[in-house]
């Protein structure tokens, strides 16, 4: 999910067509100022962060401002 706004966005995610979701979800998030970039002098200016979240067939997730987020879920 890409959030190109300058504010975070909370979204209700509904997963239809599944009988069960492992409640231990994982996320990878890349976020930073719009003008930010990595360089030879500063190669780790913007790096992904990894975290976990509680998932279900329906759950809320807040996507940070100016971010790209990958949510990983597993079926039970």
The per-residue pLDDT for range 8-48, each reduced to its tens digit, is 999 999 999 888 899 999 999 999 988 899 999 999 999 99
| Contact predicate 66/37, CB 8 Å | no
**pTM, full prediction:** 0.87
Residue 71's nearest CA partner among 52, 48, 47, 56 is 52
How far is 30 from 75, CA to CA, in rounded Å? 25
The per-residue pLDDT for range 37-62, each reduced to its tens digit, is 999 999 999 999 999 999 999 999 99
Q: Can you give the pLDDT at residue 18?
A: 84
Q: Can you give the pLDDT at residue 20?
A: 86
Query: 């994982």: which residue's tokens?
Result: 26
């Amino acid at each position: 999910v890409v959030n190109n706004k300058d504010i975070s966005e909370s979204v209700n995610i509904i997963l239809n067509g599944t009988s069960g979701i492992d409640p231990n979800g994982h996320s990878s998030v890349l976020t930073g100022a719009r003008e930010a970039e990595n360089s030879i002098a500063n190669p780790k200016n913007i790096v992904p962060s990894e975290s976990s979240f509680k998932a279900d067939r329906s759950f809320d997730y807040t996507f940070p401002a100016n971010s790209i987020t990958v949510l990983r879920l597993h079926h039970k």
